[in-house]
Structure 1
Amino acid sequence: MSHTPPADLLKKAQFWRDDIQFRQDVLGKPFDFTTTWGIFSPEKLDDGSLMLLDYVDFQSDDDSIDLGCGYGVLGMTAARECPNGKHTLIDKDFVAVDYARQNCLKNGLNNVEVHLSNGFNEVDPTKDFSLVMSNLPAKVGKEQHYLYLLDAHAKMREGGRFYVVTINGLRQFMKRAFTEVFGNSDKVKQGKTYTITMAVKE
């Protein structure tokens, strides 16, 4: 005997397939976002990213990279706050990359490049960066975190800054890893849930 899913579930599923649209202020100015279920924090910007952006020292001519961009908020903010720079957004999730690209276009950001990359594997080898930002996921494992840090170090200019936001449980690891890779680590801010850590390429 065949089974048919309930009509109300099928109706909800149709709603879930539709893009999610929302507007939210970032550093006091609005962005419009299009997202979808299945990518991180689809209905509103996550608290970790917003906390990170409050503490980044943006320079107008920074060339930045948003590592693991999701639907784009870190890289988009850099593009707006650093209009004289060029900004790269990368993610290993092709759906996230598609939405990040849409969001950059929707918000009129033309100093950006968004593409699929597993870490820095597909980043243009001729590029280097003065600013690296990442909302580092806890679940990818310490090996992947080290690869991100080592690859970033190789692509950064002298004096470049690397800001990460992590859950508090990773703060000691980040301090140790940054110190190993960069020779320095600065805990910029610790909140109830998240910690922002920064290193400078010397």
Structure 2
Amino acid sequence: MDPRSEVLLRQAELFQRPLLLAGLPADDLLGALPQASGWSWHAGDQATLESRFAGRSQFGTTPPEHAFEAAVLFLPKSRELTDYLLAALAARLPGGELFLVGEKRGGIERAAKQLAAFGKPRKLDSARHCQLWQVTVEQSPAIPDLEALAQRYRLDLADGPLEVVSLPGVFSHGRLDRGSALLLAQLDGLPSGHLLDFGCGAGVLGAVLKRRYPQNRLSLLDVDAFAVASSRLTLAANGLEGEVIAADGIHGAPEELAAIVSNPPFHQGVHTDYQASEDLLREARNHLLPGGELRIVANSFLKYPPLIEYHLGPCQTLAEGDGFRIYRARRG
């Protein structure tokens, strides 16, 4: 059981009513709270919850439409995303109770101050290195317009400007990160066929690929519902078409790809996790056609070339800078 769930269950009598668990972990909490339902924006967690508690959790960027008497938000990493999620929940709970739970190292005490916009917050419990806070919603906000909260920025590229639309919580929100910037300069000479932007975030790489290779089919994949929505907005803002997939890792990607291009994810919550990136390197050949290419950016300190060469083929370093390297390998 996730320690945040354990803290909730220490106060289980508060949650024996129609309750929404927002950003819940994929553990046994729904089983312990029979009147609760879930709202997840993590495709992997949602798949696990659906397999164990069919129909009791919804995936997406907005709260489920069904009624609930109280809500618990499991604190996300991003403060901007926390602002949106708290407002989205409080808007549905005039006079109701809104709870916030999170790890101390994740900034729960700071985040609890954000509850003051709706009423007077109070700390209910502190255990398992986590805290549980509560507020009665006395000032219920208007339902927030998620798209209006997007940050938009322009990239001036050799083939013209590109508009990027970044929603709260998406990687490198509102700016181009250094790794993607280095990879953007190394996208020449990709094979013809179906291209995949793996871990697409706001869709920068995918949009550039589609514009540079307009005859190629494009797919974009991310585990996060807000990233999936951002990528769709970025494609639309530039008049581009692509299939955007919500899936947890390379196992959810199409097969018979001509190329996989990626700034692979390695952060989840307050912890660092390289699992999705390492799975990509191990499984890429199963999704690439013979001669298909993997082209990724990675931190220079990560020992990826031996892993790439073991599972795919000879690994070439195309560029290096700002603590990153661009690697290329082809399936034999």
TM-score interval, smaller chain: 0.7 to 0.9
Hey, what does 1:50 align to over in structure 2?
A: 181
Asked whether 1:179 is paired with 2:314, we answer: no
> How many Å apart are 1:175 and its aligned residue?
0.7
In structure 2, relative to structure 1, the CA distance for the partners of 1:182 and 1:67 (3 Å cut) is same
1:22-47: CA deviation from partner (whole Å, max 9, x where unpaired): 21123442111221231111222112
> How many Å apart are 1:174 and its aligned residue?
1.0
Aligned partners of 2:191 and 2:278: how far apart in 1?
29
Q: CA RMSD in A?
A: 2.6
Asked whether 1:167 is paired with 2:299, we answer: yes
In structure 2, relative to structure 1, the CA distance for the partners of 1:131 and 1:109 (3 Å cut) is same
Aligned partners of 2:233 and 2:189: how far apart in 1?
23
Normalised by the length of structure 1, the TM-score is 0.83
1:165-184: CA deviation from partner (whole Å, max 9, x where unpaired): 011111xx111111111131
1:91-110: CA deviation from partner (whole Å, max 9, x where unpaired): 00011001101111111112
Higher helix share: 1
1:51-109: CA deviation from partner (whole Å, max 9, x where unpaired): 11211224483421011000101111111111111010000001100110111111111
Aligned partners of 1:82 and 1:163: how far apart in 2?
15
Hey, what does 2:280 align to over in structure 1?
A: 148
Which structure 2 residues correspond to residues 118-133 of structure 1 after superposition, within 5 A? 118-124=248-254, 127-133=255-261
> How many Å apart are 1:159 and its aligned residue?
1.4
% identical equivalent positions? 26
Deviating 4+ runs (over 4 angstroms):
none
In structure 2, relative to structure 1, the CA distance for the partners of 1:101 and 1:196 (3 Å cut) is same
My pick for the range that moved more, 133-142 or 18-27, is: 133-142
Aligned partners of 2:193 and 2:212: how far apart in 1?
9
Normalised by the length of structure 2, the TM-score is 0.52
1:120-169: CA deviation from partner (whole Å, max 9, x where unpaired): 33334xx4111111112344645433321232211111111111101111
In structure 2, relative to structure 1, the CA distance for the partners of 1:18 and 1:120 (3 Å cut) is same
Hey, what does 2:226 align to over in structure 1?
A: 95
Aligned partners of 2:157 and 2:244: how far apart in 1?
20
3-state SS of paired residue (2:252): coil
Letter paired with 1:157 = L
Aligned 8 A contact 1:163 1:196 in 2: yes
> How many Å apart are 1:199 and its aligned residue?
0.8
Structure of higher RCO (CA pairs closer than 8 Å, 6+ residues apart): 1
Aligned 8 A contact 2:168 2:226 in 1: no
Larger radius of gyration: 2
For these two proteins, the number of residue pairs brought into alignment is: 190
- Structure 2: which 5+ residue stretches go unaligned? 1-112, 118-143
